[in-house]
Amino acid sequence: MANKKGLILCVCQGTCPSFNKMNTLEVLNAIRREKLVDFVALHPQLCADDGDQYLRVLLDNKDIDKLYVAGCDPLMQKKMFRETFEAIGFDAAKHVAFDVRNLTTEQAVSAIKDLIKNNP
């Protein structure tokens, strides 16, 4: 079925201090419990080669209509993933990037909820 929405939380290998304040699994659980998206995922490094492969395999599913990526700076994300999206024909406008670095679990959940609500 078309119009699937997913959230990926990307956390710089889990070693970056920017993500130390949040419980990443709890952030994802909070979003999935409320069924705000059709799927959630945690990826350690989307900007690495295997992250690129992950995006290619995932987005080969043409039913995905919106991909929220919570991680680093949105502009950085846009630049890093541009080539991949172009290569697989995924409209970059369907990628909603946002920065959750240095947020607590509660702050990240709240920011992600707002973002999904404002970018349906």
Q: Does 97 engage in binding with ligand SF4 (CB under 6 A)?
A: no
Instruction: Rank residues 14 and 110 by Cβ distance to ligand SF4 and give the closer one.
Output: 14
Instruction: Rank residues 76 and 104 by Cβ distance to ligand SF4 and give the closer one.
Output: 76
Instruction: Rank residues 50 and 114 by Cβ distance to ligand SF4 and give the closer one.
Output: 50
Residue 49 C-beta: closest distance to ligand SF4, Å:
12
Token digits of residue 66:
């919106």
Cα distance between residue 104 and residue 43, in whole Å? 18
Return the bridge partners of 95, or none.
Answer: 67
R_g (Cα) of the chain, nearest Å: 13
Contact predicate 22/57, CB 8 Å: no
Which positions from 35 through 54 interact with ligand SF4, judged by CB under 6 A? 45-47
Q: Does 10 engage in binding with ligand SF4 (CB under 6 A)?
A: yes
Burial class (CB in 10 A: 0-12, 13-18, 19+), 52: middle
Return the bridge partners of 69, or none.
Answer: 8, 97
Of the candidates 71, 95, 97, 98, which one interacts with ligand SF4 according to CB under 6 A?
71
Instruction: Rank residues 1 and 87 by Cβ distance to ligand SF4 and give the closer one.
Output: 87
Return the bridge partners of 64, or none.
Answer: 4
Site residues (CB under 6 A) for ligand SF4? 10, 12, 45-47, 71-72, 80
